Amino acid sequence: MNGLKKMIYGLCFVVGAGCATSVKYEDATKVETTTADFGSTDLQQIANKMVDSLLSFPPIIQTTTERSPIIFVDTIKNKTLEHIDTESITDSIRTKILRSGKFRFVDMTKVEAAKKQFEFQNESGMVNQATAAAFGRNIGAEYMLYGNFASIVKKSDNVKDVYYKFTLNLMKLETGIIEWADEKEIRKISKRSLFGW
Amino acid sequence: MSDRIIKKARDTKLRYLWIAVGLMVLPCAGCSTAVIEGSASAVSRQDGQTVVKNQIRTDNDRMEGRLQITDLKADFAGNLLRAHVSLLNKNNNTGNFQFKFSWFDENGNEIDSDTDAWTPLILYGNESRSLQAIAPAPSVKEFKIKIRELSME
């Protein structure tokens, strides 16, 4: 009996020891289903779908065969109930498009910082003018990338059903025509069970 | 009287045994993840747009019974390789699969490894589905698709 008791205490100790905080590296590309909230897999799915769709759209293939037009990325309106960093989604999309070599980008969020550097180079008297970047040589963007991110959430006592819809549009600035658009839908359900983890 | 004491002792012993078994089983209950994987590769070149190499490899017998890669094609969207993969769920039950593309240049070197993520894919019973993906760079001449089914995660 004493032996059995010791065995139980030992097992309790082992199980208890397993509950201590531990840290390990995980695969960043692995499907993540911790909760039904927006997660890394959703971000990766949206970015992949949007880039694949844009780069395989026949009129875009035609436009980008001979040259790499310039795009500026406007904001993605977050209409979901969650706090989602939509800039992170557009960053992933921009990186993938840029690496394909099909488009080039201008970053409107860095205009002020670039302007300060221009002024320093041209007006401070500290920079050799032969090496200073000249004013008025920036290239105007031809297209604007913008979109919406919406969600529908339904809840019951034990079930949460989340539907996400990400829409992205590419507008030609000169004509105002939307040259390409696509959307990605994601639906996730989380269920709370009585047993298990 | 002594019989009752012996019976009580035996019951207590049994109870302790059950607790011991329960404690041993409990940590393992959430860990039975079975991963099975199949992979395929295809090569397409800009001169003629024909599939040069087309291999379907299945690592696991169970995967072979669950899912079939019915077709593999590659063509070019502009100068970017485009992969086309047709899948068939051979089972009557809905399958929860995950797929991931990887991309290689003409020397077989992987391009931008770990940029493509595992993507969830639901295939209903006996459903066939086509997947498409665009290579991340013009230097890509070959693609691979890995598909796995997670029975529990």
Closest residue in chain B to residue A12, using alpha carbons only: B23
Chain B touched by A99 (CB under 8 Å)? yes
* pLDDT above 60: residue A92: yes
Residue of A6, A102, A184, A187 to mutate when probing chain B, most B C-beta within 10 A: A102
User: Which pLDDT value is given to residue B53?
Assistant: 63
Residue A32 is assigned to a structural domain of this protein: no
ipTM over 0.85: no
The CATH number covering residue A48 comes to 3.40.50
Residue A16 is assigned to a structural domain of this protein: no
Q: Which residue from B114, B134, B136 is facing A56, i.e. has the nearest CB? A: B134
The upper half-sphere exposure of residue A165, i.e. CA atoms within 13 Å in the direction of its Cβ, equals 10
Residue A109 is assigned to a structural domain of this protein: yes
Please state whether beta strands A104-106 and B80-89 pair in parallel, antiparallel, or not at all (unpaired). Answer: unpaired
pLDDT, one tens digit per residue, over B45-65 is 555 555 556 677 766 677 778
Q: Indicate the burial class of B66 (C-beta count within 10 angstroms; 0-12, 13-18, 19 or more).
A: buried
Residue A144 is assigned to a structural domain of this protein: yes
Higher pLDDT, B23 or B126: B126
User: What mean pLDDT, rounded, does chain B reach?
Assistant: 75
The helix (run of H) or strand (run of E) holding residue A164 is: strand A159-172
The number of beta carbons lying within 10 Å of the beta carbon of residue A126 is 8
- Going by pLDDT thresholds of 50, 70 and 90, the confidence category of residue B31 is very low
pLDDT, one tens digit per residue, over B58-117 is 666 777 788 888 888 888 888 898 888 889 998 899 999 999 998 988 888 999 887 789
Domain that holds residue A170: 37-191
Average pLDDT over residues B120-149: 91
Residue of B46, B80, B82, B99 to mutate when probing chain A, most A C-beta within 10 A: B80
Q: Domain tally for chain A?
A: 1
Tally of residues, chain B: 153
Nearest in space to A97 (alpha carbons), one of A89, A179, A155, B151 = A89
Residue A67 is assigned to a structural domain of this protein: yes
Residues in A closer than 8 angstroms to B80, CB to CB, are 55, 100, 102
Whole-angstrom distance, CA of residue A60 vs CA of residue A103: 10
Average pLDDT over residues A33-55: 94
CA A162 to centroid of chain Cα atoms: 18
Residue A169 is assigned to a structural domain of this protein: yes
Q: Which residue from B78, B134, B150 is facing A52, i.e. has the nearest CB? A: B134
Residue A6 is assigned to a structural domain of this protein: no
Judge: B20–A18 Cβ closer than 8 Å, yes or no: no
Average pLDDT over residues A143-158: 95
Residue A183 is assigned to a structural domain of this protein: yes
Whole-angstrom distance, CA of residue A94 vs CA of residue A102: 11
Q: Evaluate whether B36 touches B152 at the Cβ level (below 8 Å).
A: no
Closest residue in chain B to residue A10, using alpha carbons only: B20
